[in-house]
Structures are given as structure tokens and as C-alpha cells.
Amino acid sequence: MTCVFCARYHLVWKLDALAEYRWLEVDEIGDEKQGGLLGLEVQLSPNFSIGGGYNFTEFNDRLTALDYDAKGWFITISGHF
């Protein structure tokens, strides 16, 4: 999978918007898919954020799953130290 366009933009306060344009090409079976993803994320502390969005594509980052049913809402939780 190739993320052709990835952008994160700080909106206000601790709120960020993200956008991705994705392209998946599977040479072995001659398949190609493309689409977009939009999301919002809020920074709850310097080390923790939570967000969500909508995946307009039919695939996700798990490249071994070729059933193409990943379209829909998602939640992200991120922490680091």
C-alpha cells in the first residue's frame, strides 16, 4: 500500500485534522484499489491522544486481508513516553 498523500493540520486548541489518499496495488492477483481517509484527533495530554474518522477505501493497513470490507468508521488511540 502506498499513501500517495498524507496531511495533518492543527486546527485549534488541541484538535488536529488528518487526510490521506491511499493506493493499493497487488501485482500477484492484478488488483488495484484507491481512495481516501479523513479523521480528527484531540491531544488529551502531552503523551496521549484519541481520535476517529472515516475510511472511504475498501482496504486497510492489514495487507494480508484481501476481502476489501474495511470501509467505515474507525477509532484511534495513541500513547507514547
Q: Please state whether the predicted TM-score (pTM) of the whole model is above 0.75.
A: no
Looking at residues 6-32, what average pLDDT do you find?
84
Q: What is the pLDDT of residue 73?
A: 93
Burial (CB count within 10 angstroms: exposed 0-12, middle 13-18, buried 19+), residue 33: middle
Burial (CB count within 10 angstroms: exposed 0-12, middle 13-18, buried 19+), residue 59: buried
| CA trace torsion 39, 56, 19, 66 (10° rounding) | 100
Per-residue model confidence as pLDDT tens digits over 26-46: 777 777 778 888 999 999 998
For the chain, give every domain's residue range: 2-79
Per-residue model confidence as pLDDT tens digits over 61-79: 665 666 666 788 999 999 9
Q: How many CA atoms lie within 13 A of 38 on its CB side?
A: 1
